[in-house]
Amino acid sequence: MSPACAGARSLDVLRWRAGQAQQVDDWLTEEVPVALQYNGVSHAVMLATPLDLEDFATGFSLSEGIIEQAGQLYDCEVEHGSLGITLHLEVATRCLEVLRQRRRTLAGRTGCGLCGTDSLEQVLRPLRELPANARASVGSDAVARALRALRTQQRLNAATGAVHAAGWCDDDGRLLLLREDVGRHNALDKLIGAMARAGADASRGFVVVTSRASVEMVHKAAQAGVPLLVAVSAPTALAVQTARSVGMGLAGLARGDDLVVYSGAQRIRLELPSTTSTSLIPT
């Protein structure tokens, strides 16, 4: 399998195009059950693309508040089985105690990051307000540049057309890290994990995602300390409320040079495509 199709498999399909039928090979995204076990205790099963699993384990653990820093995940052993993949994770004892107090039995879904949550308290866990040093503004031209880079570097999506992506960008819109997955929440978790494992400073730069911005996406980004989340589609009302409550920038419907700022207007400088700056949104 070529590197461009890692995370996909080739299947024989019948294609109907321009009035003609043709038997062809097509690349399809892999979607497998991935179980996360912490210190031998089963915690969640997610349907995911089996790529960057150590990033996924780290990012999920961070965004769910199970660990506070990547170093608290001591080990990640990947076990492939006939029914799926198990990630055997070893965490600090005090992290395991937090996990036991907030047990979740997640049914693996790609559309909802809250499926299987036991109580309302677990849905909207308290978030810390973003620190003052995470309030630098980003130009709208940098956002447009980041979105262009995201489209061109989605190798798995180019092969299959069926995955989401999340990218970490610097203030100039240069794409520094990118992760893909059939689930939008998983893609973001993988990115958060990759950032943490690389020692990236989450307070500098912003995250772009090829999906809508649900409250779960906002929660994960805020938990990681990301000051600005940019989504290709629109956010939900609860996502906007959550972003505003912690001082996080949230932009949606970001396509080409256009976007809508829903929270944290001070975090985005609206600039004309010619890079001439204009103050169109009050700060």
Residues recognised as catalytic? 112
37 vs 41: CA distance, rounded Å: 5
Q: What whole-number distance in Å separates Cα of residue 274 and Cα of residue 144?
A: 12
| CA dihedral over 232, 234, 238, 244, signed as positive or negative | positive
Place of tokens 């080990």: 75
Helix (H, G, I), strand (E, B) or coil at 249: strand
User: Residue 279 in 3-state DSSP?
Assistant: coil
Inter-residue contact 252 to 234 (CB < 8 Å): yes
**Number of residues in the chain:** 283
Residue among 30, 41, 117 nearest 86 (CA): 41
Name the β-bridge partners of 38.
41, 89
Token reading at 273: 């495509």
Q: Is residue 244 classed exposed, middle or buried when 0-12, 13-18 and 19+ CB atoms within 10 A define those classes?
A: middle
Phi-psi region of 253 (alpha: psi -120 to 50; beta: other; left: phi over 0): left
Q: What whole-number distance in Å separates Cα of residue 77 and Cα of residue 117?
A: 25
